[in-house]
Structure 1
Amino acid sequence: MSISLGPDDSVAVLAHEKFPDGAKTAVGVLRYANYDVTAVLDRERAGERVTDHVPDVPDAPIVESMTDALETSTPDALLIGISPIGGGFDESWRADVRAAIEAGCDVIAGLHYFLEDDEEFAGLAADHGVDLIDVRRPPDDLTVSQGRARDADADVVLTVGTDCSTGKMTTTLELVAAARERGIDAGFVPTGQTGIMIAGWGIPVDRVIADFAAGAVEQMILDAADDHDVLFVEGQGTIVHPAYSGVTCSLLHGAMPDSLVLTHSAGRDAIHGYEDFAIPPVEAYVDLYEDLATPVAPTEIAAGALDTRAIDDDDAARAAVDDYADAVGGPATDPVRFDADAILDALL
C-alpha cells in the first residue's frame, strides 16, 4: 500500500468523540507525518484547538464537521484518524466522508471496512474524480515466510508491547529520528494503518491472511534492508492479547529481529478493551518474548520504553522509568517525554 502525500499536501483528520486519547492515528499523523493537518473533526471538542490537548504538535482548529473544515480551506484529503476495535465504519461519519468527496478531497481510511466497497462512496468518488484509499487493503502477491529475514543486510529492531496502545509505533519513530540525528542510516518499517499513513508505504499485517502474515513482514524487511543499515519495525498488539496475539507472533517470527524494545503504559493493569484480562508482570514478558523467538531466531529485549502520560510530575515519571528499567533488566526511558538516547545506546 502506498500513499502519495508530501509536505505540500494537507489533510483534515476525522476523530469524532475520541480526540486525543482515543485517536492514536490522528495524534500519530499530527506528530510525525510530513504533510499539514488543516483541521481535526471532533463533535465533542468543536471550537477548541489541537494544542489545547496535545501541546507538542503543530496546531490546528477542532471543528464539528467536514463542512465546517471546508469553510476555511479545501484540504487534499480527509483522513479517518480513529479505528474502533474491529475496524468498523461508524455511520455517523458518512456525512463527513460524503462532504469531503463532493469537495474534491481524497479519503484515506485505515479500517477493516473498505470505503472502495461502499456503493455510495465509490459512486461519488467516480463522479468527482477522487481516490478512496483503504490503507488496510493488503497486496495480492503475498506468500508464506521463507525464514529469510535473518539474511537481511541490516540490523533489525522490533518493538513489542505489554498491551495494545502502549507506544510501539511512537517508540519506533522516535528511535528512527534519534538514529538519523546521529548520522545512522535508519529505516522505518510500517506494519499498521497509522504507520503506513505516516510513511506512505507498508503492509497492514493485521489484515493479511494468517498463513501469509509472517511472510508479509519478511518481504518488507528484505525490501528495505538494501537501503538502510538499521531497520526499526513497528510492532503490533501483544503476545498475551486474547484477540491480537497472532499478529504479534507473526511479526516476531517474520522479522527475526536482532533485538527487541518492550513498551508499556504506566498505570495500566488490564488489557485494553478486555479489562477482565490482567496484564502480567513486566518480567514475565521478557521471558515470554525471548522464549517464543528462540526456536526461530534467538533475540533479546535490549531496552524498554515507558509511556508516562498518566503521570503529571516529571520526577515521578523518571522514578517510574527507573522502576521499569529494573523490571526489563536493561535501560529504559519515555522517548517522548524525555528522549530515546538510553534505548538507542543499548541497541547500537
Structure 2
Amino acid sequence: MKKTALIYCEDHFGKMDGKTANGLIRSSRKYQILGVIDSTQVGMDTGEILENRKNGIPIFSSLEHALNILPSVPDQFIYGMAPSEAFLKNRERNIILNAMKQGMNIVNPLHEFFTQDDEFMKYASEYKVDITDVRKPSLKKDLHLFSGRVLNVKTPIVAVLGTDSAVGKRTTSVILEDALIEKGLNVAFIATGQTGLIQGAKYGVAIDALPTQFLTGEIENQVMRAYEEENPDIIIVEGQGALSHPAYISSCGIIRGSRPNAVIVQHPPKRKNLGDFSYMPMPTIQSEIDLIESFSITKVVAVTINHENMTANEIDDVIEVYEEQLKIPTTDVLEHGCDKLVATIYETFPSLHKKIKIGVK
C-alpha cells in the first residue's frame, strides 16, 4: 500500500515554484496524497486549480487544520515547493518541526539537507521519524564518470526537453510513459529532478545537486541500469531547465549522458521571460530546436505546449501555427492527450511496431 502524505505548498500551489506539489497531485506512484497546505486557496479542490476538475484532494490552511480534518495523521510530510533560493524560512522550519512532533516522516526536496541539521536530527530521533533528503547525492566515491557504455544501447531513447524550467517536461514525460505502456510497450522512465523521484520513479537522480564532473556519468548510469534491469522497448528521459538557459547546465548533462535518439520540446508560448530570471527573454521554440540539433546528434521530433495563460482557442491556434512553421507534430498533452506523440514515436522508431502486444491498439 502507498504511504499517505500531506504536502506543504504555502502560497505556491498551482504556480511555478509549487511544481513539486503540482506534480505529486497529478501523479504519485509512491504516496497517497491526502491534501495540500496553502492558506491562500483553503477550501478549494486541488484538481480544480490544476485541471479545472475536482479530484477529491483538498487544500488546508495549516498543518493544524489538516490534522483536525483528516481521519488520521499522514505518514509523510512533503515540502512541496522548489523556490529559487532553495532554503527554508524560519516559519517553515517550525512547521516541519511540528510535523515531526506529530509523528510524520519528512520528505525534503531542497538543496538544504535536513539530515545535516542538528535540531532536525534531534527531533527525528526523539519522535522516531525518518528524514529523506531527496536531492542529497551519493558520496563522491560512489558517483560515476561517463564511460561510453550508453553508446552501445540499441533501445530508442527519447528526451523531453524544454525552453525554460517549470514548463511541464516531467508532466509530459509521465503522461507519455503511461500512454506508451497502454500500447503494450515496456517503458523505462529516467527522472532527473527531485519531483520525479518523490513521485516514485525507479530510475533517476537529482542532477542539479551533483558536481558537474559527474553529471553525464550519473545520467548514463541511470540509463544503463534501466536498460540492463528492465530490457525496455523504449527509454524516456526527463529534461531539466533548458539548453539555452543562462543559469542552468542540466540539459547539457542530460543530452551528453543519455544520448537521446529523439527529442520532444516543451514550450509555453505565452511566457515572455524566463521563470526565475524576469530580466531574460524567453527563447523562441525555433531557436531552441536549432540549438538542440546543433549541440547533439539527434532530431527534435515533436513540440508540446504548456498552456499557461492560454485559452482553448489559443492553444489550438498555436498548434496549427507551429505545425505549419516547424513541420513537426505539436500538441498539448493535458488538453489533447498523447496520440500525436505516440504516432510520432512509432514513425521515428518503426521497430516498435513489432513490440505491440496482441489485442492492444
Mark yes or no: TM-score above 0.5: yes
Q: Specify the SS of the correspondent of 1:305.
A: strand
CA distance in 2: counterparts of 1:86 and 1:322, whole angstroms? 38
1:160-205 deviations in Å (ceiling 9; x for gaps):
1111111110111111011011111111111100000112442100
Equivalent in the alignment of 1:230:
234
CA distance in 2: counterparts of 1:113 and 1:177, whole angstroms? 32
Larger helix proportion, structure 1 or 2? 2
CA distance in 2: counterparts of 1:100 and 1:51, whole angstroms? 25
CA distance in 2: counterparts of 1:304 and 1:57, whole angstroms? 28
Equivalent in the alignment of 2:60:
63
Contact 1:150 1:257 (C-alpha < 8 Å) held by counterparts: no
Contact 2:48 2:54 (C-alpha < 8 Å) held by counterparts: no
Shift of 1:47: 3.0
Shift of 1:266: 2.3
1:5-45 deviations in Å (ceiling 9; x for gaps):
xx432100000010112311111101110332112111222
Shift of 1:57: 6.4
Contact 2:190 2:201 (C-alpha < 8 Å) held by counterparts: no
Instruction: Write out aligned runs for 1:1-348 (5 A).
Output: 7-22=1-16, 23-34=18-29, 35-54=31-50, 55-56=52-53, 58-71=55-68, 72=70, 73-140=72-139, 141-201=142-202, 202-226=204-228, 227=230, 228-244=232-248, 246-293=249-296, 298-312=297-311, 314-348=312-346
Contact 1:11 1:36 (C-alpha < 8 Å) held by counterparts: yes
What 5-or-longer segments of structure 1 have no aligned partner? Answer: 1-6
Per the normalisation by structure 2, the TM-score is 0.89
CA distance in 1: counterparts of 2:168 and 2:326, whole angstroms? 16
Contact 1:303 1:325 (C-alpha < 8 Å) held by counterparts: no
Q: Structure 1 stretch 86-95 or stretch 249-258: which is displaced more?
A: 86-95
Tell me the matched-pair count.
336
Contact 2:36 2:60 (C-alpha < 8 Å) held by counterparts: yes
CA distance in 1: counterparts of 2:159 and 2:254, whole angstroms? 8
CA distance in 2: counterparts of 1:300 and 1:102, whole angstroms? 52
Shift of 1:153: 4.2
Letter in 2 for 1:79: I
Equivalent in the alignment of 2:355:
none
Shift of 1:102: 1.0
Letter in 2 for 1:230: I
Cα-Cα RMSD: 1.5
Q: Specify the SS of the correspondent of 2:334.
A: coil
CA distance in 2: counterparts of 1:58 and 1:121, whole angstroms? 33
Q: Specify the SS of the correspondent of 2:73.
A: coil
Contact 1:139 1:203 (C-alpha < 8 Å) held by counterparts: no
CA distance in 2: counterparts of 1:45 and 1:52, whole angstroms? 11
CA distance in 1: counterparts of 2:258 and 2:326, whole angstroms? 21
Shift of 1:97: 0.8
CA distance in 2: counterparts of 1:89 and 1:146, whole angstroms? 37
Q: Specify the SS of the correspondent of 2:333.
A: coil
CA distance in 2: counterparts of 1:173 and 1:166, whole angstroms? 14
